């Protein structure tokens, strides 16, 4: 079953490679192969009503406004899981996403199944980020003006393993290239104890996924973000480590 999933994922990625539309910024994933195999495999596809085409599109600035409520809900749902365990708040999420609407140079990549948002990925030039984000870079001799900061990626579980996460990186990197002037692209991830009580037994870190995309972990570049975990009464600091691509 695992091997078949990899084959299906490869098909999706290949189709994406065949149909890059960097300027149109509107990508279709033809999933006909996947669906045919899904039917052959009976219950392999957990999502029975998945359509043939997943659309992926970049948005910037005010055109994002109408998607904010759905996007906020998706983020809250996905980030409840380990390692984030985020006890999300709709109002906070809307405020957070407003940063992207207010910045014309930001990008949010949205993935749709029909009209439903099933995934999203954010990025913004680091110069528009908070001091908290910029500080470790300044302390280690980087110029924040030369860094493009990828925020988060979230994808409905039913649609994972199809290459959509890879396309999120491709789209954000393409946006950074279009803007120009960046020496590095970065993102950060939360550090959790190996024996964290909420760590699922089958949890696989995304390190290999990121390494394969040529990102390198920089343990010296850390920041502290604050949020409330599901089992916490109050917000608490979380250590974040940055990954960089030259």
Task: Count Cβ atoms below 10 Å from residue 106 Cβ, excluding itself.
Answer: 23
- Listed in order, strand segments (DSSP E) in the chain are 26-30, 53-59, 107-113, 116-125, 147-155, 184-190, 216-227, 236-245
Q: Which two tokens stand for residue 116?
A: 């439903």
Task: Figure out which of the listed residues 47, 138, 206, 216 binds ligand COA, where binding follows CB under 6 A.
Answer: 206
Which of 164, 186, 240, 244 forms a contact with ligand COA (CB under 6 A)? 164
Whole-number minimum distance, CB 153 to ligand COA, in Å?
4
Q: Is 160 in the site for ligand COA (CB under 6 A)?
A: yes
Task: Examine residue 201 and tell whether it contacts ligand COA (CB under 6 A).
Answer: no
166 in contact with ligand COA (CB under 6 A): yes
Pairing of strands 184-190, 236-245: antiparallel
CA atoms lying within 13 Å on the CB side of residue 5:
11
Binds ligand COA by CB under 6 A, chosen from 154, 176, 185, 244:
154
Residue 4, interface with ligand COA (CB under 6 A)?
Answer: no
Question: What would the x/- binding string for ligand COA be over residues 180 to 199, using CB under 6 A?
Answer: ---------x----------
Locate tokens 């039913």: which residue?
Answer: 158
88 binds ligand COA (CB under 6 A): no
Return the ∠ at Cα 161 (arms to 215 and 183), rounded to 5°: 20
Q: Which of 74, 85, 155, 185 binds ligand COA (CB under 6 A)?
A: 155
Query: Which residue number, 101 or 188, has a Cβ lying nearer to ligand COA?
Result: 188
In angstroms, the CA 46 to CA 165 distance is 18
Residues that bind ligand COA (CB under 6 A): 9, 78, 152-155, 160-166, 189, 204, 206, 209, 212
């Amino acid at each position: 079953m695992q091997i078949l999933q990899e084959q299906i994922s490869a098909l999706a990625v290949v189709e994406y490679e065949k149909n890059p539309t960097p300027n149109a910024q509107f990508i279709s994933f033809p999933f006909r192969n996947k669906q045919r195999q899904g039917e052959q495999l009976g219950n392999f596809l957990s999502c029975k009503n998945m359509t043939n085409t997943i659309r992926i599109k970049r948005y910037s600035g005010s055109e994002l406004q109408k998607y904010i409520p759905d996007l906020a809900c998706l983020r809250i749902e996905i980030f409840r899981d380990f390692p984030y365990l985020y006890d999300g708040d709709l109002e906070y999420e809307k405020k957070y996403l407003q940063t992207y609407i207010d910045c014309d140079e930001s990008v949010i990549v949205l993935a749709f199944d029909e009209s439903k948002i099933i995934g999203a990925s954010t990025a913004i030039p680091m110069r528009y980020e908070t001091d908290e984000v910029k500080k470790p870079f300044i302390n280690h001799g980087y110029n924040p003006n030369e860094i493009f900061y990828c925020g988060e990626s979230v994808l409905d579980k039913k649609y994972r393993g199809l290459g959509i996460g890879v396309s999120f990186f491709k789209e954000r990197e393409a946006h950074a290239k279009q803007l120009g002037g960046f020496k590095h692209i970065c993102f950060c991830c939360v550090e959790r104890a190996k024996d964290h009580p909420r760590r699922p037994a089958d949890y696989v870190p995304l390190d290999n996924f990121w390494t394969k995309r040529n990102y390198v972990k920089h343990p010296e570049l850390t920041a502290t973000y604050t949020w409330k975990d599901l089992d916490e009464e109050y917000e608490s600091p979380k250590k974040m480590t940055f990954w960089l691509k030259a």
